[in-house]
Amino acid sequence: MAFNPADKIQDLQYFGEFGGVNPSVSDSSTYTFLSAKSMFDTFEGNAEGCYLYSRHTSPSNLYLSQALAAMEGTETANVAASGMGAITPVLLQLCGAGDHIVSSRTIYGGTYAFMKNFLPRLNINTAFVDITKLDVVEAAITPTTKVLYCETVSNPLLEVADIEGLSKIAKKHNLKLIVDNTFSPLSVSPVTMGADVVIHSLTKFINGSSDTVGGVVCASTEFINSLKSVNDGASMLLGSTMDSLRASSILKNLRTLHIRIKQHSHNALYLAEHFEKDGLKTVYPGLASHPSHELYKGMINPEYGFGGMLTIDAGSLEKANELMELMQERNLGYLAVSLGFYKTLFSAPGSSTSSEIPEDEQKDMGLTDGLIRFSIGLDNDIERTYNMMKACMVELGILSA
Ligand SMILES: *Cc1c(COP(=O)(O)O)cnc(C)c1O
Q: Which of 228-242, 341-355, 387-401 has the lowest mean pLDDT?
A: 341-355
251-284 pLDDT, tens digit per residue, is: 999 999 999 999 999 999 999 999 999 999 999 9
Range of the structural domain that residue 367 is part of: 257-395
Same domain, 197 and 315: no
Q: Are residues 250 and 274 in the same domain?
A: no
Cβ atoms 190, 148 nearer than 8 A: no
Contact assessment for residue 11 and residue 70, using Cβ atoms and an 8 Å cutoff: yes
SS3 call for 176: strand
Determine the 3-state secondary structure of 283 from DSSP.
strand
- Residues 96, 222: one domain? yes
Strands 100-104 and 125-129: parallel
Domain identity same for 242 and 377: no
Domain membership flag for residue 356:
yes
Q: What are phi and psi of 151, to 5 degrees?
A: -110, 140
| Residue 118 CB contacts under 8 Å (≥ 6 apart), including other chains | none
User: Do residues 250 and 284 both lie within one domain?
Assistant: no
pLDDT for 386 equals 98
C-alpha span between 275 and 328 (Å, rounded): 18
Residue 117 lies in a domain: yes
Candidate of 152, 155, 235, 374 to mutate for ligand 1, largest count of ligand atoms within 8 Å of Cβ: 155
Q: pTM of the entire structure?
A: 0.95
22-64: pLDDT as tens digits = 999 989 999 888 888 888 777 766 566 678 889 989 999 999 9
48 burial via Cβ count (<10 Å: 0-12, 13-18, 19+): exposed
For residues 207 and 311, membership in a common domain is answered with no
Confidence (pLDDT) at 70: 98
Residue 33: burial class (beta carbons within 10 Å; 0-12, 13-18, 19+): middle
pLDDT of residue 191: 98
Q: Flag whether 400 is in a domain.
A: no
Do residue 280 and residue 346 come from a single domain? yes
Cα(105) to centroid(ligand 1), Å: 15
My answer on whether 248 and 311 are in the same domain is no
Q: What is the pLDDT of residues 112-170, one digit of tens each?
A: 999 999 999 999 999 999 999 999 999 999 999 999 999 999 988 899 999 999 999 99
Asked, for residue 401, whether it belongs to a domain, the answer is: no
State the closest ligand 1 atom to the C-alpha of 339, by its place in the atom list counted from 1: 15
Q: What is the pLDDT of residue 46?
A: 57
238, 254, 270 - which closes a domain: 254
Spatial distance between the Cα atoms of 164 and 180, rounded to a whole number of angstroms = 15
- The region of weakest confidence among 2-6, 70-74, 81-85 is 2-6
Burial class (CB in 10 A: 0-12, 13-18, 19+), 356: middle
What average pLDDT does the segment 172-188 reach? 98
The three-class DSSP label of residue 150 is strand
Q: What is the pLDDT of residue 41?
A: 77
385 lines ligand 1 (CB under 6 A): no
d(CA 72, CA 283): 26
Confidence class for position 79, pLDDT limits 50, 70, 90: very high
Per-residue pLDDT tens digits for 276-326? 999 999 999 999 999 999 999 999 999 999 999 999 999 999 999 999 999
Question: How many angstroms separate the Cα of 87 from the Cα of each of 198, 216, 338?
Answer: 10, 8, 17
Secondary structure (3-state) at 312: strand
Mean pLDDT for all residues in the chain: 94
User: Is residue 100's pLDDT more than 90?
Assistant: yes
Mean pLDDT along residues 199-204: 98
CA distance 342 to 253: 12
Our answer on whether the CB atom of 373 is closer than 6 Å to any ligand 1 atom is: no
Q: For ligand 1, atom 2, name the residue with the nearest CA.
A: 201
Total number of domains constituting the chain: 2
Q: At what angle do helices 317-329 and 382-395 cross, to 10 degrees?
A: 130
What CA–CA distance (Å, rounded) separates 76 from 48? 14
Residue 165 in 3-state DSSP?
helix
Same-domain pairing of 212 and 301: no
> How far from 232 is each of 55, 94, 132, CA to CA, in Å?
14, 12, 35
Supply the residue whose CA is at minimum distance from atom 11 of ligand 1. 108
pLDDT at residue 227, as a whole number: 97
In this structure, what CATH number is given to the domain that contains residue 273? 3.90.1150.10
**What is the structure's pLDDT at 96?**
98
